[in-house]
Structure formats: C-alpha cells, structure tokens
Structure 1
Amino acid sequence: MFLSLILGTTGWTPFDSKPFDCFLQGLIGACGISVLYNLLRVYNFVQNCNDSDSGNGSKPRSSSLITPLRGNWRSALQFWILTVVLSLMGSRVFSLIVLEFSLRAVSTWASAGLDASGRGLDMILIQSQFSLGCSLTGTLIFLQQGAPHSFLSLFLAAALSWKLASLSHSLWNHVARLYPLHSTKHYCGKCITLLTSGHTILASLQRAVVLAFAVASVASTATVYDHFLSQKDAMKFWTLLTLCYIMLLVYIQEDEHRQTGTAALLHSVVMRLGALLVLMLAMGYWSDVFQILIAFLGEAVCLLPSWDLLQALLKEEEEESSLSRCDERSSHKRTTIKTSSRGR
C-alpha cells in the first residue's frame, strides 16, 4: 500500500503504461551490452593468442588472468537480469546516467588521454557497458514518444538486436574454444579473418559506442530540459549542481591516480552513482531514487563478469610501469657512467 501510494503520487509504475514496449526497450539495451561484452572478449582473446604466438619478441599480454569461457547459464542470467533492470528504469534516470558517463569519458580523455597500446580505451569500453545499455534504451524512449505504432518498430529493432547478440555470442564461443587451433591450421574462415583483421575490432567498437553516446546525449539533454530545467529558477540550481559534480569528478580522477587496482574502480562507481542518488533525493521523485538503486545492480551485473579483463589490464599497466621505471634507472646509470668516463 505504501509503495503504491508513492508510485501513484509520482506518476510512475513498473513498466509504465506499456509494459511490453518497456520490455522490448530493455531487451534492446541488454542486447547492445551483450554485443559489446562479447566483442571485447573476442578482441582481447585474439590479441593474447597473437602476442603469445608471435616470434618478434613482443611480450604476451596478461592472458593468464582472462577467463576463456563462462557457462551459458551465467551469460543467460546476466542478460535477463539486465533486461529486467533496463525495463524498470525510466527516461529521467537514463538521461542522467548517459550525460554523467559522457562527461566522465570526455574528462578522462582530455586529462590523461589514451596510450598508444589502447589499454585506456579498453578500460573505458569495459566500464561503459551499463551506460551503453542506458543510452540505447533512453534513445528509444525519446524517439518513440507519441509514435502510434511503436510496438512494431520496437519489435523489429528487438529482433535485429537479438540476432546481433546471438552472432556475437556464437563468435565468442567459437573463438574461445577453437581459435588457438584454427589460427595455426588456417582452415577456418572466421579465425583467419580474425587473425588478419582482428586488431580492428577495438576501433570499430570505439566508433559505434561514440555514435551511440552522441545520439543519446542529444536525447538526454532534451529529456533533462523537459523534466528538470523547464521549471522556474531551475537553471540556477542545476548550474550549482553541475559545478559540484565536476569538482567531484576531478576528485574521483585524482583518487584513481592515488589508488591502484580494482579498489579505485569500485570507489569511482560508488561515488558516481552515489552522487546521482543524492541528486535525485534533492530534485527527483521517490521512483527516481528507486531506479538509481536498481542502477547499482545493473553496474554490478556488467562489471563483475568483466572483472578478469579489468584485472588483466591493470596488471599489464603495473608491469609496463615497472619496466619503464627500470629503463629510466638503467638509462640514468648509463648516463652517469658516460659522464664519469669523460671526466677521467
């Protein structure tokens, strides 16, 4: 009774007024997350195998930390949990999550940049999984507003998304089981294609994710204006909140530099969603607060299966930083020896 009273005063109920449309929108968002997750694993697995088999002296990546393949029931459970989570969330929270991640990604790129090996890009793409699902679902909600036959278009989009997710999942299953053998025997078309052009997967994912967030940012800006900024004197309040959030973002980035490993990632996720939770407590409805709490579950469902990828990337960064420090010490020692020999 208390829950129905809260939801009735805010005008929001689970699945809104069109439950099947909300389910299809959540399904499309979960399919987008699945495609990104599977292709990231394909790229990292192929690069690990190619680096370990190459004879040019390049050091293999930290492939020992990457789990080759998970059970199908775990993938299915992750997929359907994300579908339900995205179906229960609304356009207001979607918009804030998309704008928050876009601002954080641009700030990270502008402050630190991406290293030449692409590990920074790997890290951003891994952390963008749930935000990508929010961007796809929020864009669909924005585009389908007032559409008389929205069910048909959503059904076609869901069917196409399901097909793409199935293809990416089957590709990852094939690569995880057979790529080490087929890449040396050269009799599998899929593995030969990945062997020759697998390094382009990351760039393609980057372009697709940037395009998705660019479109979603436009839709999110319009949604935020309609729901939050159209009220009297709301611009002054939101300007202060935006400045406070930018200061929080700078603090999170500095804290990530001070901390190492997965603790910094967990701390940043909690701080970001905690800031949105405080924002919704100040400006939103109780339904928005409930949806932010659901977003914590969505982030966990996306990041926990990708934990091995994050650990491998962080370990590789630590190894390369230690190697660079050793190179600096050795070069400094050689310079000192040359200077002393010249003095003699």
Structure 2
Amino acid sequence: MLQFVIVTGILAVVGSRVASLVVLEFCLRAVSGLVTAGPDSNKFLQQLLVQSQFSLGCALSCSLHFLHEGASQRWLCLLLAAALSWFLARQATRLLHHVTALYELHSSQRYCGICLCLLTHGRGLLPMLCRAMVITFSVAAVAAVSIINRHFLSATEALKFWTPLTICYTLLVVYMQEEQHRLPGSQAVLNTVVVRLGGLMVLMLTVGRWADVLHILMCFLGEASCLIPTMDLLDAASSQIG
C-alpha cells in the first residue's frame, strides 16, 4: 500500500511533459534492446517488464492527459485509473500469495482452477504482457510527441529541442546496453537509472524549464520506489539462460 501511494503521488506531481520524455526514452530503449538482444531476447523482455513499472505509469499518465485534455472533470478519469490500478495490484498480490503457498500442491492434485490455468497457459503470460505493453506504449508515444510539440510556437523551436534530445537519448541507450553486459543485473539497472535521468536533467537545464528539472528529480524517487523492491526479480531474470 505504501509503495502504491508513493508512486501514485509522484505520478500526480510529475508533469505531462516530463512523463512524455520518460515514455519516449523507454520506447527507444526497448526497441534498441530488442534489435540488439539476439538469442537473449526472452531474458531481455523479462528484465524490461520488471524495469517498466514507473515508465508504464508515465505512459498511462500522459495518455490520459492527451485523451481527456479539455474535459471538465479530468480528475475523475485519473481517480478511476488509480482505483483500477489499485484493484489490479491487489488481485496480483493475492494471486502471488496463493501460488507461493499452494501451487505445487494444487497443480499436482489438479483440483484448483487457478493453478491448473497457470499450469496449462503459463507460457502465454509473457507474450500477453508484451502485447499489452506494446499497445500501451504505442498510444503513449503518440500522445507524448503531441504533448511535447504543443509547447513550441514554430518548427525551428521544435527542431532545437528534438535534435539534442534525440542525440542524448541515442548515446544514453548505447551506454546503458554496454553497462548491462558488464555489470550484474540489479546493479546495472540502478546505474542506468541514474545515468539516463541525470542526462535528461542536464538536457532540461539547457533547453527545458525549471519545473521540468523538479519533475525529473521526482522521477528519481519514482524509479527507486519501483525498482528497489524488485531487485531479486532483476537478478533472477538476468541470471536465466536465454
């Protein structure tokens, strides 16, 4: 509950502009990683799913901002999204506790519908989650580009922003991929979070606004609150053989 409240509060504070930048950075990192993963693509997908928690929140935030902009009761949509997220989180937690305690017994005795469903269709969970992620971030990427471009009065201003942003993101993605090959899973993830958000902060200091810098500092807290409790999952995913 504490983690949910913290992440929800941070996403409510972070502006749609910085949330859009986080979404675009994640999309670039995901596409580049899949292209270069090769035979380790399954392991990369598992790591990406664990790392995507805060970026997914930013994706939902900027998508809702884009879809409901101008609505008189926008806060009700955000409240409904938060309530739905809380419900899904509670259901996932209950499923985790059930599987941890009783999966071995129920799957062998074959009298629990939940465990039998996981036994027969468990291999389809990862592809299903990947499809959901692709749809979510595809919509969010369109919304992110639209939200960012609204802040520019001319094509020249947009070009001055997008050119250093694209170069910075590309260099960061290359550096992060090298770090993940060199360091253990969880340590590499923490290092890359500091590098990519730090690089984004430096970029916003030159072409952004002071509010953007403050929101990026909030993103540090959001990423930490999502990644620190999942260090064991990151280590497990990185140690698997693709």
TM-score by shorter chain over 0.5: yes
Compared CA separation, residues 222 and 188, structure 1 to 2 (3 A): same
User: In the alignment, residue 18 of structure 2 is paired with which amino acid?
Assistant: V
CA-CA distance at 1:233 after TM superposition = 3.7
Q: Equivalents in 2 of 1:285, 1:276: separation in Å? A: 12
**Equivalent position to 1:175, from 93, 99, 105:** 99
Looking at CA atoms only, which structure, 1 or 2, has the larger radius of gyration?
1
Gaps of 5+ in 1: 1-75, 321-344
Find the counterpart in structure 2 of residue 91 from structure 1.
16
When normalised by structure 1's length, the TM-score is 0.65
CA distance in 2, matches of 1:151, 1:77: 22
Letter in 2 for 1:243: I
Query: Following TM superposition, by how much is the alpha carbon of 1:79 offset from its aligned partner in structure 2, in angstroms?
Result: 1.0
Q: 1:88 to 1:236 in 2, by over 3 A?
A: closer
Structure 2 letter corresponding to 1:133 = G
The question of whether the paired residues in 2 share the 8 Å contact of 1:91 and 1:223 is answered with yes
Q: CA deviation at 1:182?
A: 1.2
Match of 2:175 in 1: 251
What whole-Å deviation, never above 9, does each CA across 1:63-106 have from its counterpart, x for those lacking one? xxxxxxxxxxxxx1111111111111110100000001101110
Post-superposition shift, 1:303? 0.8
Taking a change above 3 Å as real, the CA distance of residues 172 and 261 of structure 1, as seen in their structure-2 partners, is: closer
Taking CA–CA contacts closer than 8 Å with sequence separation of 6 or more, which of the two structures ends up with the larger relative contact order? 2
What letter is aligned with 1:216?
A
Root-mean-square deviation over aligned CA pairs: 2.1
Larger proportion of helix: 2
Q: Distance in 1 between matches of 2:88 and 2:238?
A: 30
User: More displaced, 121-130 or 277-286?
Assistant: 277-286
Which residue does 1:100 correspond to in 2? 25
Match of 2:188 in 1: 264
Alignment deviations for residues 133-172 of structure 1 (CA, whole Å, 9 cap, x no partner): 1101111111111012334444444444433332222212
Of residues 77-86 and 239-248 in structure 1, the stretch that sits farther from structure 2 once superposed is 239-248
Count, aligned residues = 242
Q: Is the 8 A contact 2:8 2:82 kept in 1?
A: no
- The one-letter code matched in structure 2 to 1:172 is L
Aligned to 2:67: 143
The aligned counterpart of 1:128 is: 52
Shift of 1:238: 2.7
The residue type equivalent to 2:60 in the other structure is L
How far apart in 2 are the matches of 1:229 and 1:108?
34
In the alignment, structure 1 residue 287 sits paired with structure 2 residue 207: no
- Cα separation, partners in 2 of 1:230 and 1:99, compared to 1, 3 Å: farther
Deviations 1:281-330 (A, max 9, x none): 1122222111111111111111111111111122334xx8xxxxxxxxxx
State the alpha-carbon separation in 2 of the partners of residues 247 and 152 from structure 1: 39
Unmatched segments (≥5 aa) in structure 2: none
**In 1: Cα distance, 2:211 partner to 2:173 partner:** 25
